[in-house]
Structure 1
């Protein structure tokens, strides 16, 4: 009886209350961050406001806690990947893997192709490993090191790195978000990936052309040879540079051939990389373990080189993990309030009249959830799928279009949320600010193709899986 009383006491948020709560939480985040308040504290304050919203709606703390614990639990695999990436970067620095990648990159890569090459290599790395974070921290880190010797703006290269990493993550059968989007939508994995090709591949081609043009414009085809020579000389002085040391990076790609889960693949790579570091650089086990925990540290006497090398370690990810955890708590509380469901069903769904509007509204809603939950890809994908699956069914559109739309927005928008976990990871790993976001062209282009597909019918299937563009079949209105 007591449980029933609590359920009855709970208030359902009105559309006006849902919109108002959403606006307040977003406004607080934006204002605090613009006032240079620490991102973690900004998200913490937003979480308190979300808890206040739950209190106003008379939602019991037990119910709120149950939801937020479920959301946090869904994020644990990402927590572990972040920890292992920190370990891997520290070991790769001490073992000479990243220094070797930087050395040969400066010797072999022309500035004219650096930007598009950063996009392609990071895309391949993430495609084979299923992790955008791992791609950024390994191949991306090496590309940024090479970029520092050119006249190309580093934020442009980081933009290419991020776009490539999230392209590969989105299209990889090993990716957690790829499996999540197909799983919650109940779409076979490779049907889901095939569906994404209609929006992702054209966007990638356009982005690659833009990165190529930008690279040529900014580089002028010139490399600062004196700076490159200084970096290379410093690297050879402090490390045994050898092509063999690149093998641990290649291993990251090879483990995917055996379709190993991302966590297991990363674990194997950490162990093999440690062995390489001890054999080829003579690093002791104790020292290597400290590098994995606290990061690699060296004083070369060259101010240009030290910031490139002094990276990695679990400790370097501590701030990110704390922010990630608080962001997950905030997302869980917001989910528990039910304001997102009301915002979708009582506000956004009223505008849906055809498939173009349906896809557009789904994209917008997924963006809203992602920004509101600090780049919470898991939450945005699950919540959006639950909200819009009935609309896609009623309109006679196959759910592979829904699962694709979830990734076109939910997965890809993570690294462009200024206060988001993915953005903070990129910033802490590559030593940059949010200025790279304006160069993340691929991420902004994909939704355009999502809407174009909906408008033209290309890449749209009916409920039975028949291609609509081949039959010119019109869809029923909701």
Structure 2
């Protein structure tokens, strides 16, 4: 057996840029995202061979990462089922129908931001928020002159804001857990960066919505959509209850997986009662996705979606990305980059927060939006530095979420981005409009520089330096 080698700084830098270059080049020449990430896996495997890392060690890292990601895999599968059932059962059509009746285009964009934030806050899942409230808002937006990428940017911003602050969120619990910070101390710390950023984003979305709204909906198109929905579905306010149930289960603090499972069961009952869909067809819709031909070209794409199969590409990409992240972690190049490059620049708490943010972005972009890997690897790299500089770990846990969690849906080849594109039927043109995600790190640095929302290890406020 070859002796295992420790990567040098030069080797770590070359390896890092090689993987990034492969991802960027492959995607830009038109290669499928999953296969582009798989190419990154091959490069990562070559790096392990050069370093002489035992394959059993690499496999162990892959299995550990897969276990960490399994709850997310299951949630994605159930979200696909739920969307297919909600389409067939009339829940999403009813949300769209009543939304078009009461929502003004002047408030559509900020309302999409707020409603998706509330949905994620109560459910603990950004993916679920995008697939339910987000899908309904895109349907309503299609009757206005507002650019769809702007609406999707507001949806994504709200969904990830609520996910970040929810005590039910997997990333919220993960960041607090690995940092050894009590959950609600972690959430309290995040308020200093998340709430002001959310307010600024809300103002920007309100201004943008007013600018693009044109003051009115396309009434002819709105009427056509509403008539088509009422013709093909039994529209009823009671059909919104399954969507409300997703929020209520979080109030009773049911685990996300159990809550989503309950929502699926109740949605099946509602679909059978209100739409008369038989059980076998519903199960097929849950797996294959809902399909209908209304004869109206603009409506069919809104309704023909959902199902486990619609999540297949996402799940495969997620698995491949998880493998790539696990292999890269096992090489130790990220640790070398942090210790020998990034940590060299740390002179005070402001630089420490900045470097931690940057490192989260590096890991997330390198692992195709692997926010779980980003949070874990970054925490392990910087926890001792925060301790040595007498900075409370709830600042570290907050920073992990400010960049590690939030950057996931802005990685062009990332799992979260592919999910948003697939569920909402859009391109990644929404990324520049996800303003909240870009604003939060600014407030992270404001806190670090001013000392606001900064504490020492004893929990006492830190003065700015």
**TM-score normalised by L of structure 1:** 0.97
Deviation sequence 1:234-287 (CA, Å, 0-9, x none): 000000000000000000110011101111110000000000000011010000
1:36: which partner in 2? 30
**What CA distance in whole angstroms lies between the structure 2 residues aligned with 1:141 and 1:450?**
31
For 1:66, which of 35, 51, 60 is the aligned residue? Answer: 60
Question: What are the equivalent positions in structure 2 for 1:82-231 lying under 5 Å apart?
Answer: 82-231=76-225
**What CA distance in whole angstroms lies between the structure 1 residues aligned with 2:215 and 2:54?**
63
- For structure 2, the residue ranges without an aligned partner over 5 or more in a row are none
2:457: which partner in 1? 463
For 1:25, which of 14, 19, 39 is the aligned residue? Answer: 19
**What CA distance in whole angstroms lies between the structure 2 residues aligned with 1:280 and 1:249?**
15
**What CA distance in whole angstroms lies between the structure 1 residues aligned with 2:270 and 2:231?**
19
**What CA distance in whole angstroms lies between the structure 2 residues aligned with 1:307 and 1:72?**
34
Q: Offset at 1:373?
A: 0.5
- Counterpart of 1:241 in 2: which secondary structure? coil
Q: Offset at 1:473?
A: 6.7
* 2:244 maps to 1:250: yes
**What CA distance in whole angstroms lies between the structure 2 residues aligned with 1:359 and 1:251?**
39
**What CA distance in whole angstroms lies between the structure 2 residues aligned with 1:404 and 1:454?**
12
**What CA distance in whole angstroms lies between the structure 2 residues aligned with 1:85 and 1:294?**
13
Deviation sequence 1:380-404 (CA, Å, 0-9, x none): 0000000000110000000000000
**What CA distance in whole angstroms lies between the structure 1 residues aligned with 2:101 and 2:244?**
19
Q: Offset at 1:233?
A: 0.2
Deviation sequence 1:34-58 (CA, Å, 0-9, x none): 1111000000001000000111001
Deviation sequence 1:52-75 (CA, Å, 0-9, x none): 011100111111111111111111
For 2:231, which of 230, 237, 240 is the aligned residue? Answer: 237
Q: Is the 8 A contact 2:335 2:381 kept in 1?
A: yes
**What CA distance in whole angstroms lies between the structure 1 residues aligned with 2:225 and 2:20?**
43
Residue 473 to residue 442, structure 1, CA distance change in 2 (3 Å)? closer
* 2:75 maps to 1:81: yes
For 1:444, which of 434, 438, 442 is the aligned residue? Answer: 438
* 2:381 maps to 1:387: yes
Q: Offset at 1:79?
A: 0.4
Q: Is the 8 A contact 2:338 2:381 kept in 1?
A: yes
Count, aligned residues = 465
Runs of 4 or more, structure 1, over 6 Å off, are none
- Counterpart of 2:341 in 1: which secondary structure? helix
1:424: which partner in 2? 418
Deviation sequence 1:416-473 (CA, Å, 0-9, x none): 00111100000000001110001000000000000110000000001101122xxx37
Q: Is the 8 A contact 2:450 2:464 kept in 1?
A: no
2:318: which partner in 1? 324
Q: Offset at 1:222?
A: 1.5
- Counterpart of 1:151 in 2: which secondary structure? coil
**What CA distance in whole angstroms lies between the structure 2 residues aligned with 1:77 and 1:425?**
16
- For structure 1, the residue ranges without an aligned partner over 5 or more in a row are none
Question: What are the equivalent positions in structure 2 for 1:277-296 lying under 5 Å apart?
Answer: 277-296=271-290
Deviation sequence 1:300-354 (CA, Å, 0-9, x none): 0000000000000001111111111001000110000000000001110000000
2:365: which partner in 1? 371
**What CA distance in whole angstroms lies between the structure 2 residues aligned with 1:236 and 1:318?**
31
- Counterpart of 2:78 in 1: which secondary structure? helix
Q: CA RMSD in A?
A: 0.7
